[in-house]
Structure 1
Amino acid sequence: MTLASQNANNNDQEVILVTGGAGFIGSHTVVQLLTLGKRLVIIDNLCNSSEEALHRAKVLADNKGSLVFHKVDLLDAAAMEHIFQLYTFSACIHFAGLKAVGESAQIPLGYYQTNVTGSLNLIQLLQKYNCKNLIFSSSATVYGLPTSKDPINEDAPIGALNPYGRTKQYIEEILADIAVSEPDQWNIILLRYFNPVGAHESGKIGEDPNGIPNNLMPFVAQVAIGRRPVISVFGDDYDSPDGTGVRDYIHIVDLARGHVAALKKLETAQSTGRTLGCVAYNLGSGVGYSVMDMIHTMSKAVGRSLPYKVVGRRAGDVGTVIADPSRSFKELGWKAEKTMQDMCDDLWRWQTQNPDGYTTAEETSAPTTPTPAPHSAFTELLE
């Protein structure tokens, strides 16, 4: 009997479906959930993630809870249906998707197919099998171009500026429409992330980007470890104390804790018999740090100055983007706790312990440009 069929025949404990659970944010959230004793079924096509992260997550959680992994693509409708036939899910946390802003402009159809069509496949199955408790991994990119330096709350205008952000926006709108169409049935929480950075404090799991990192801190870490020569600072003429762009960075462990808080809210709604409909929450610290703040703090973590050069602004970049996380604190009981130094110390610990990420030296020679993965057959990989 396979592990999948064993679990399918044991429905006395609630099962949570986690899509994209082997990725950066997903794997850190998995650690938190396993530590709480949760029973998880994780699906991921591994196009921009690693199965190794799940093995390590189990160890970090002291083998609490239970985890079953299936390599499945959300675009493979037959394999997805099979998953829903094997398990009865009480809730779903949906991380899966492509996530590079620049790449999304180069292959927009791939992003719309993977993120939007994949999500539609998932949502249809959630509806069919009556699992109407969903946490969606969204992004602050849905807010588009801020009109001021004021912190952004969840009622700010929506208007993503790139294909990646629009996939998140469209999925949010689809979920809101579903909640309205079936009143008193759905509990949907949209979590809008700002800038996740850092790594697990153990250094065992962290961000392992494919190819050249798209975000500041993974690039800074690769410069620090010697994989890249110099940090490019895009513009030093913004309206900020040092002229560089200001962003709301949030430690990945704080972000993972935010998903636990959201899940508790779903569970409370279920136990009390009331429904949430569809509601959005910002996950950010509410504090802005400049590019130079982050470089200097990372230099402190590393123990030496890191090389950087100032280059021109990138098209579409704005000076300041900061979250207003007050709704998350009031309604989820969540707030970011870790400091900028924690973010950099933990990132550096991960980078030094894993200079080539999860891959071996032999594997790093293979092409790593992320592309929409082909439909994959139903396969179970991890016990």
Structure 2
Amino acid sequence: MADQVLVTGGAGYIGSHTVLELLEAGYRPVVIDNFHNTVRGEGPVPESLRRVEELTGKKVEFEEMDILDKAALQGLFKKHSFSAVVHFAGLKAVGESVQKPLDYYKVNLTGTIQLLETMKTHGVKNLVFSSSATVYGNPSYLPLDENHPTGGCTNPYGKSKFFIEEMIQDLCRAEKDWERVAGRKELPNPMGPIGMGGPTGPQGNPGAPLRFPGSPRGRDGPEGRREIPYRIVARRDGDVAACYANPKLAQEELGWTADFGLDKMCEDLWRWQEQNPMGFGSQA
């Protein structure tokens, strides 16, 4: 029987794409999500996961759950025999974290601690944690690589991710049987749908101009595409001026290279947005 893998926050954008890959690789993902960052839609599973099922021809096991509910987590681990956990669940907006820092520390830190404690109780010691490029703060050099120092975070979201990385490292130093990977998922920012998914929440007024956070002296907008109304707006609270990665290690260690350029990614994302103007919230 295939290994069961728990995916927290698995109904979101990156989570649902990960579930698709797990199914294709022969695993049995079990997804939990509380829909803070996504929209459920109709049916027994969220719309994003329904599309995963449609693409793979396989069923996705799903439970609506909050990682702050420790009793629910304990019940979940008693019901299943997980071989690993992929942890995406948490609050994730840089600007909002500046305005609501305690919410971010409570959900991201307390939720992760409860998840780790539950994993430990049930002998599950394999973890993939979805971190963030925000742990680097204002870059000392670009492109960023794995040797760049972390911890100079410019917002509570990034600090929460950095603290979690430190917690996991300390746990693994104390208990040598833990295996973990911290993937800084925003290096570079994920973009573009794969079949079923793009953004998973309401995207605002479909007819409103696109908003590009940055300097008024930024470039005039996309070239070689249809005329698109847009506005250059102020940088969001807590954002850094520039952040992009050197993908060399991923190529050397994993054989990964980017298949598409920026034009193709924008084209696919724009097509998805036209077909789903309010995200998954408008799906039946």
- 1:329–1:187 distance in 2 versus 1, CA, 3 Å: farther
Pairwise CA distance, 1:315: 5.5
| SS of residue in 2 equivalent to 1:198 | coil
What amino acid is aligned across from residue 77 of structure 1 in structure 2? K
Map 1:26-37; keep pairs closer than 5 Å: 26-37=15-26
Structure 1 position 197 matched with structure 2 position 191: yes
Q: Which moved more, 1:129-138 or 1:324-333?
A: 324-333
What amino acid is aligned across from residue 346 of structure 1 in structure 2? D
Tell me if the contact between 1:231 and 1:307 (Cα under 8 Å) persists in the aligned partners: no
Tell me if the contact between 1:16 and 1:39 (Cα under 8 Å) persists in the aligned partners: yes
Instruction: State the identity %.
Output: 43
Structure 1 position 208 matched with structure 2 position 208: no
Pairwise CA distance, 1:335: 2.9
Structure 1 position 235 matched with structure 2 position 235: no
Map 1:155-194; keep pairs closer than 5 Å: 155-158=147-150, 159-183=152-176, 185-194=177-186
- 1:170–1:317 distance in 2 versus 1, CA, 3 Å: closer
Between the two proteins, the alignment pairs up a number of residues equal to 275
| SS of residue in 2 equivalent to 1:18 | strand
| SS of residue in 1 equivalent to 2:277 | coil
- 1:89–1:107 distance in 2 versus 1, CA, 3 Å: same
Map 1:247-286; keep pairs closer than 5 Å: none
- 1:134–1:109 distance in 2 versus 1, CA, 3 Å: same
Tell me if the contact between 2:202 and 2:278 (Cα under 8 Å) persists in the aligned partners: no
Unpaired runs of at least 5, structure 2: 41-45
| SS of residue in 2 equivalent to 1:155 | coil
* Match among 60, 77, 101 for residue 84 of structure 1: 77
- 1:56–1:309 distance in 2 versus 1, CA, 3 Å: closer
Map 1:217-366; keep pairs closer than 5 Å: 225-226=206-207, 228-237=208-217, 244=218, 295-296=221-222, 300=225, 304-313=226-235, 317-360=239-282
What amino acid is aligned across from residue 122 of structure 2 in structure 1? Y
Pairwise CA distance, 1:73: 0.6
Tell me if the contact between 1:108 and 1:163 (Cα under 8 Å) persists in the aligned partners: yes
Pairwise CA distance, 1:344: 1.0
Map 1:88-99; keep pairs closer than 5 Å: 88-99=81-92
Unpaired runs of at least 5, structure 1: 1-11, 213-221, 238-243, 245-290, 364-383
* Match among 2, 5, 16 for residue 5 of structure 2: 16
Tell me if the contact between 1:35 and 1:62 (Cα under 8 Å) persists in the aligned partners: no
TM-score if structure 2 supplies the norm length?
0.89
Deviations 1:57-79 (A, max 9, x none): 1111122xx42101111010101
Which residue is 2:43 aligned to?
none
CA distance in 2, matches of 1:305, 1:122: 47
Pairwise CA distance, 1:342: 2.1
Rg larger in structure: 1
- 1:33–1:313 distance in 2 versus 1, CA, 3 Å: closer
| SS of residue in 2 equivalent to 1:320 | coil
Map 1:362-373; keep pairs closer than 5 Å: none
TM-score if structure 1 supplies the norm length?
0.67
CA distance in 1, matches of 2:23, 2:80: 18
